[in-house]
Structure 1
């Protein structure tokens, strides 16, 4: 199933003293609920895990990426199936509810993840607590011998921009892309939420059996926050290239976990915030 990623709307445009009516394209934003089926074969249960506001498209990748970057699953071997749910009233499939069937052997400590989801949405959580939460299910640093020269970095933004088809028409979506160490674009995903765009990348990597991404580069169309850094670390990505700024906690976490973080990346310039030895 698929919903459009952009929809037309009529707008009134003011240009100086001129008023006119025209059609414009808007990025679509819709809720998506992630439900989990879990437990033994003879006693399956269902739990509504999360609702995220997303741009439709690559929904299964989004769900899998979310489960992986939250530490709920470690690989596709823990997934039995993933489907859109059926509407209780109409009996028809709904593309805003995804059910992921987990392996009967997978044991989950639900209280741990409920605390994580609560603190991730809380304005009051401190940086130290955030990093300690990451350490609880990702205790090791990212290790990689990848080395990338400056010229490759300079060309990444243009390569990603060409593939941002919905952004080209709406100007309203974030993009995330994975490159190999030679600067070849392997995949790109867009979404209204920057965290969703990264989860789609991670989910796609799971589907394609590419994880861990220890010899790859992640590019972000905007800033790099702690949340995005955490997701990249769990995917074992050694280099993150952000077109925008980076937060202090993202930089601190990159330094601690062995990630090379670049920001303010333009065609001919960029800043390196951590582990510069991989660049040059």
Structure 2
């Protein structure tokens, strides 16, 4: 299996003085996801939790919704040039009776480490495929607890401490307990790994939970939260307009600019409890 980090020579300049030293970098390698032996998607990811990543990706695409939908996940034999196994190609076999999707089997879909699935279908695709709509989830969160989550996530980022080059996704309980954390060069990969691990543990839907991501909240991340039944998605940076549209329609609480206890709530504010009524006329910009 590939390494999470790699060492490279770097010229380090401090105070105008240059010197050479080894530096620890986060690894980035392609992962091809196959479904029933047919190419489905290629993503750039940090090696590790590859099976969970593949299963989580299939959840977000509406293909699977539980561990019972998956017969096996394996690295592909003979995928390397010398005929050996390669750890950059994963094949997912669906359980008997689970329908093969027609979404991407006729085209090779490429996803990057930064933006997720390129050319993802619109809101209509999520409407038709959602198995665990979060709208009815009754979870409530004190605003003070939400403000503490970024520090708790940051404290759990072990590889980031060594490289400074990874995004993170953390899954929290309604009480603020960190249930799982994954790091990856791509935010969407980190989320897929969390969702995939939940599927493998038989914990889908992820009702009553909070998903916190480093960086921004794109449509793809909102989609993944909705498809996994997560009622609250928070990000330390801005959401996109389409992410807000999806959150409002699906009943997802969407929080952006979560920093130092400050935040913007773009949808589902009824889930956030305040010690006093929310003031009127407050600027919506951070």
TM-score in terms of structure 2 length:
0.87
1:52 aligns with 2:77: no
Q: Give deviations 1:25-62, integer Å, cap 9, x for gaps.
A: 1110001111222xxxxxxxx21111111100100000
State the Cα deviation string for residues 174-208 of structure 1 (Å, max 9, x = none).
10010000000000001111111111111011011
Shift in alpha-carbon separation, 1:69–1:111, aligned structure 2, 3 A: closer
For 1:95, the equivalent position in structure 2 comes to 87
Shift of 1:213: 1.0
Correspondence for 2:58: 67
- Consecutive unaligned residues of structure 2, counting only runs of 5 or more, are 112-116, 274-286
Q: CA, structure 1 residues 222+10, in 2 after alignment: closer, same or farther (shift >3 Å)?
A: same
Q: Output one character per residue of 1:247-274: Cα deviation in whole Å (capped at 9) or x when no partner.
A: 1111121111111111111122111111
Detail structure 1 runs of 4+ shifted over 3 Å in the superposition. 88-91, 111-120
Question: What corresponds to 2:276 in structure 1?
Answer: none
Residue of structure 1 in register with 2:21 after alignment:
22
- Tell whether the 8 Å contact from 1:143 to 1:214 is kept in structure 2 after alignment: no
The change in CA–CA distance for 1:220 and 1:111 in structure 2 (over 3 A counts) is closer
Counterpart among 219, 222, 233 of residue 226 in structure 1: 219
Change in Cα spacing, 1:220 to 1:259, as seen in structure 2 (3 Å) is same
- Which deviates further from its counterpart, 13-22 or 221-230? 13-22
Counterpart-to-counterpart distance in 1, 2:95 and 2:160: 37
Change (3 A) 1:114 1:225: farther
> Which whole-Å deviations, capped at 9, do the CAs of 1:102-135 have from their partners, x for residues lacking one?
123222242566579589523xx7xxx6111211
- Quick check: 2:9–2:20 contact (8 Å CA) kept in 1? yes
2:91 & 2:222 partners in 1: Cα distance? 27
Q: Where does residue 208 of structure 2 map in the other structure?
A: 215
Contact 1:224–1:244 (Cα < 8 Å) also in 2: yes
RMSD of aligned Cα (Å): 2.1
Out of 130, 133, 137, the position equivalent to 1:138 is 130
Q: 2: CA distance between counterparts of 1:64 and 1:234?
A: 13
- CA distance, structure 2, for counterparts of residue 215 and residue 154 of structure 1: 17
Q: State the alpha-carbon separation in 2 of the partners of residues 90 and 220 from structure 1.
A: 39
Task: Kindly indicate whether the alpha-carbon contact (under 8 Å) linking 1:142 and 1:237 is maintained by their aligned counterparts in 2.
Answer: no
Matches within 5 A, 1:186-201: 186-201=179-194
State TM-score, norm by structure 1: 0.89
Tell me the SS of whatever aligns to 2:135.
coil
Aligned equivalents of 1:79 and 1:261: distance in 2?
30
CA shift, 1:173, in A, is: 1.0
CA separation in 2, counterparts of 1:113 and 1:141? 28
Aligned residues: 266
Q: For the structure 1 residues 234 and 185, does the alpha-carbon distance in structure 2 shift closer, same or farther, using more than 3 Å as the test?
A: same
Measure the CA separation in 2 of the matches of 1:111 and 1:204: 23
Counterpart of 2:197 in structure 1 is 204
Is the 8 Å Cα contact of residues 116 and 133 (structure 1) preserved in structure 2? no
Any unmatched runs of 5+ in structure 1? 38-45
Aligned with 2:136: secondary structure?
A: coil
**1:104 is matched with which residue?**
96
